[in-house]
Amino acid sequence: MQSDSAETAQAGTLGHASRGSEAAAAPGVLVILGASGDLTKRLLMPALYNLACDGLLPAEFAVIGMARRPLDTTAFREQQRQDIQRFHTRRDFDADRWAWLESRLHYTSGEFGDPEAYARLRDTVLAVGGDSGAAGNTLLYLAISPEFFQTVNGLLDEAGFTQLPGSRKIIVEKPFGKDLDSAVALNRSLLTHWREDEIYRIDHYLGKETVQNLLAFRMANGMFAPLWNAAHIDHIQISATETVGVETRGEYYDKTGVVRDMLQNHLMQMLAYVCMELPTSLEPSAVRDEKSRLLRAVRLFDPASAARDCVRGQYGAGTKADGSAALGYRQEPNVDPESNNATYAALKLHLDNDRWAGMPVYLRSGKALWKRGTEIVVQFKPQPGDGGEPNLLIFHIQPFQGVEIRMQAKRPGPAFELQRAGMRFDYAETFEATRGTGYEVLLYSALNSDPTLFSRTDFVEDSWRIVQPVLDLWKDTRAADFPNYMAGTWGPLAAHALLARDGRRWHECITRDVLLRSEFFANAPAVLLNNLTLACQPRAVEAGATVVERGEQSSDLYVVCRGELEAIGGSGERLGVVKAGECFGEMALLDNRPRNATVRAVSPCDLLVLAAADFRRIVQDFPQAEAEFRRIAAQRR
């Protein structure tokens, strides 16, 4: 276990009126190595601009960029001035605040392998730090490819950066290694030149307010504390899904894959915050100790358990949410046309400690899926009177930010009938805040020498130990079924089977925008959409699967999100097709009659299912819904 000696944050001088009770960060010099790249213009500079607008940067602050591009300070400022117009995240651009920040930008060019470049950089840091009053707190941000980390660290040390007066921090971006061995080697290389308390390994997910709120939620809301264990929680799901494919990142992604890109870092961070023991204080060492202790409690996979409890997928050609065609992974630019790389993964984890023994945690992440979203779903064990529906606590991380409780409530009326209901805290409706990049709080913390939100050596290596057996298994065995899910769908069917085997299912957090893709709900009032998002359940079916049989008396309403189905008559004739955005089964329910056709999937399909009881309840509560269903059904005929 590495120890942290958290340095006391210095009191900074306000460079602008500070926001609320927050003080400006400590004075300091931020050195960005790789300053001409995408990370700087898309994330770092907009984050610094946001901090400047909120009065959270001190007057004694400077930025020094270094990169291969032969620019001077004037040209660098001009470049950043153009880029910030495109990439800032605020509603309105504050030219005065940007001018304040721009005046603090400096630049020196140099090759990353050239010792003389680092000598010039050191001279620049000392000069700028002395002139601006920011000396004594130097942050070295490696916004460069990991292949340069070892070289750059050695040359920084040779140039004297590890001996600069005052506080020194080196900030390292992910990916931190490509496997356990390379991560250990990289850590050893860093620790050769820097102390553990000087190394700030950054994971931008920890800059998200909703991820930080996981700890606040647990520490500040004692009513949940007695329930936060395997005796009351059935299981936990952590999902991070994306609608986009790899697009222009094929060269990087084909060497990385979903486990390295998402599970080993982002999802492990969220797992730690949700499941760790509460720290005795918010001191950085206390928080980081508990995070690492939690990861060490994760049962490591052996080859048999990895094959049983881990699912991989790769997307094929499909359809985007807007209806346009989507390439398959192997057709993306700079991707091997026979690639065995996984773009989807689902893992079942076990935590071997007193709090969580016997309770599984399911992780999943994937590209080119039906919905973008990061959610943590805590499903509680059913209790007498729950009406058969489990209570859910859902942390919405992105793009919607908030916390939601799904429970049972009595329906209005004289009869005692229960109905699913939800209570939701929404960040956008509660706090007045400008959308950030996720890097603001991380840069602010680094200036203040607060390592709480940065990963320590043991956490990084423990997270690699968890996923390394999975990477080894998938590297040594070729997936015979790739691609095994279409772009725009809910992922491989094997991922649904992983939970179904345990009598569980993935909780797809359906949002209004998903329902509004269907013409049936385009004009629905908000209260009806709220009812539908709580009542609809996902279902994935393979091509050739029968969804309903002709003659069934009782069934459900189905909304087609992806794929195509055909209706088959009693003599086997094809009566018609049902496509994405359409639904079927509504007339049999409305008229209380048997199904007049068999419906079978022509292609793999993703469906939303509204149970018959919920359908009848909604039609009863919203008569206009029945009229709309009948109108559209008549048009279809």
Among all residues, which ones are annotated catalytic? 266
Residues in the chain: 637
Closest CA to 94 of 177, 6, 16: 16
Instruction: Give the β-pairing of 402-410 and 418-426.
Output: antiparallel
Distance, CA of 417 to chain centre:
37
Q: What is the CA radius of gyration of the chain?
A: 27
What SS3 state is found at 219?
helix
Q: Are 110 and 11 in contact (CB under 8 A)?
A: no
C-alpha distances (whole Å) from 561 to each of 27, 180, 477, 509, 528 are 53, 40, 33, 14, 19
What SS3 state is found at 212?
helix
58, burial (CB in 10 Å: exposed 0-12, middle 13-18, buried 19+): buried
501, burial (CB in 10 Å: exposed 0-12, middle 13-18, buried 19+): exposed
Q: Which residue has the tokens 């936990």?
A: 236
C-alpha distances (whole Å) from 419 to each of 153, 462, 487, 507, 606 are 60, 43, 34, 18, 25
Dmax over CA atoms of the chain, in Å, equals: 88
C-alpha distances (whole Å) from 408 to each of 164, 421, 433, 435 are 61, 6, 32, 34
Q: Are 412 and 527 in contact (CB under 8 A)?
A: no
Residue 178 neighbours by CB distance under 10 Å: 17
Q: Could you give the residue ranges of the DSSP H alpha helices within 523-622?
A: 526-535, 586-591, 612-621
What SS3 state is found at 447?
helix
**123: which residues sit within 8 A by CB, 6+ positions away?**
none
Closest CA to 506 of 517, 498, 514, 515: 498
Q: Are 562 and 588 in contact (CB under 8 A)?
A: no
* Helix or strand (DSSP H, E) at 451: none
**Letter for the amino acid at 324?**
S
